[in-house]
Structures are given as structure tokens and as C-alpha cells.
Structure 1
Amino acid sequence: MSWQAYVDTSLVGTGHLDKGVIISAAGDSVWATTAGFTIQPDEMKNLVNILAKTGDAEDKAWSAGIHVAGERYVMTRSEDRSVYARQGRTGIVIVKTKQAILIGHYGEAQQVGNATQTTEALADYLIKVGY
């Protein structure tokens, strides 16, 4: 399956997310994205640093928020491989695998728990197959 198919089918196609993007774990390239959900290079590098807990990136994310596709989100949870953030009734789920970072966006029509489960499940699958 192509990376775009993962975004279209396994993320957005479930109905639990309205946008998605897959970037390299190094934060240097976008592998697949939903049209109009454009993540900037500096946003990708910042996400890599937050997930790696490099320097004070995580502390800054707690205080200043996380920017994805030009939007600011308030970080609500940070775990070993996952970060969760919201903006009002919408939000993002960010999960790192061995070689990729998945970012799922849920809108007002979606449930946070379903969005989280969908994104985490795809990450589990990619890890299982070596990505």
C-alpha cells in the first residue's frame, strides 16, 4: 500500500479523522498528506524534537503550544511515542513509529477517543511491519 493510501484509507477513510499526514521520522520530508493539510519544515522539525524530548522542545510545547499546518494547538498529553493537542473542539494526534510520524486531525464531528485509537492502531501496524 502506498503512503497516500494509508492517509486516505486508514486515517481519513475511517471517518474518525478529517485530515492526516505522514512525515519521515527525521522530519525532513512529507510522505503523504490530505489536500490542504500542509505541514511546514520548521513544524516537522519541532515535532521531531518534541517526540524525542530534545532540549527544551517539550517544555516549550507545554507553554507555547504546537503548530501544525499553520494552526496552534494546546498540548494536552505527551507520552513516549505520542503527543496529543487540541484547539477548542478539534485536535491532533501525533504518533511516532520507527521510520515515520503520523499526524491525525479530528474535527468537531469526530470523537477524540476514536481519533486517538485510529491513529495509534495504524502506528502499531506500521511498527509491526518494520516501519
Structure 2
Amino acid sequence: MSWQAYVDSSLVGSGHLDKGAIISVAGDSVWATSAGFTIKPEEMKNIVAILTQSGGAKDKAFADGLHVDGERYVLARAEDRSLYARQGRTGIIAVKTKQAIIVGHHGEAQIAGNATQTTEALADYLIKAGY
């Protein structure tokens, strides 16, 4: 399956997310993305820094927020391999695998828990497949 197919069918196709992307774990390239969902290079680098807990990025994100697709989100939780951020009733989930970071976005009509579960499940699948 192509990276784009994972975004289209596993993330957005689930109905639990309205946008998604898969980026490299180095934060230097986008492997696949939903139409109109653009994660800028500096946003990718920041997500990577938070998930790898480098340079105080996590503390800075808790204080200042996190930007994805040009929008500011409040960092709600950051764990070993994942982060969760909200903007009103919408939110971002990012989960790190061995080689990639899956970024999901849920809209107001979608349930955050279902969006999180869907994104985490794809990450688990990719980890088991060696990615």
C-alpha cells in the first residue's frame, strides 16, 4: 500500500479524521498528505523535537502552543511517542513510529478519542510492519 493510501483510507477514510499526513521521523519530508493539509518545514521540525524531547521543545509547546497547517493548537498531552493538541473542538494527534510520524486532524464533528484511537492503530500497524 502506498503512503498516500494510508492517509486516504486508514486515516481520513475511517471517518474519525478529516485530514492527515505522514512525515519522516527526521521531520525533513512529507510522505503523504490530505489535500489542503500543509505541514510547513518548521512545523515538522517542532513536532519531531517535541516527540524526541529535544531542546526543551515540549515545555515550549506547553507554554506557547503548537502550530500545524498554520493554525495554533494548545498542547494538551505529550507522551513517549505521541502528542495531542486542541484548538476549540478540533485537534491534532501525532504519533511516532520507527521511520515516520503520523499526523491526524479531527474536526468539530468528530470525536477526539476515536481520532486518537485511529491514529494510534495505524502507528501500531506500521511499527509491526517495520516502519
Q: Which runs of 4+ in 1 moved over 3 A?
A: none
Give the superposition deviation at 1:55: 1.3
**2:19 counterpart residue number:** 19
Secondary structure at the aligned position of 1:127 is classed as helix
Secondary structure at the aligned position of 2:77 is classed as strand
Distance 1:43 1:112 in 2: 21
Give the AA of the match of 2:96. Answer: K
Distance 2:102 2:66 in 1: 15
TM-score, normalised via structure 2 length: 0.99
**1:128 counterpart residue number:** 128
**1:32 counterpart residue number:** 32
Distance 1:110 1:118 in 2: 12
Residues 1-131 of structure 1 aligned to structure 2 (within 5 Å): 1-131=1-131
Structure 2 unaligned spans of 5+? none
Distance 1:75 1:46 in 2: 12
Distance 2:122 2:80 in 1: 16
Give the superposition deviation at 1:56: 1.1
Give the AA of the match of 1:127. Answer: I
Distance 1:46 1:116 in 2: 20
Distance 2:41 2:112 in 1: 26
Deviations 1:67-104 (A, max 9, x none): 00100000001110000000000001100000000000
Give the superposition deviation at 1:11: 0.1
TM-score, normalised via structure 1 length: 0.99
Q: What is the aligned-residue identity percentage?
A: 76
Give the AA of the match of 1:83. Answer: L
Secondary structure at the aligned position of 1:39 is classed as coil
Distance 2:46 2:17 in 1: 22
Structure 1 unaligned spans of 5+? none
Count of aligned residue pairs for this structure pair: 131
Distance 2:5 2:44 in 1: 21
Distance 1:97 1:61 in 2: 21
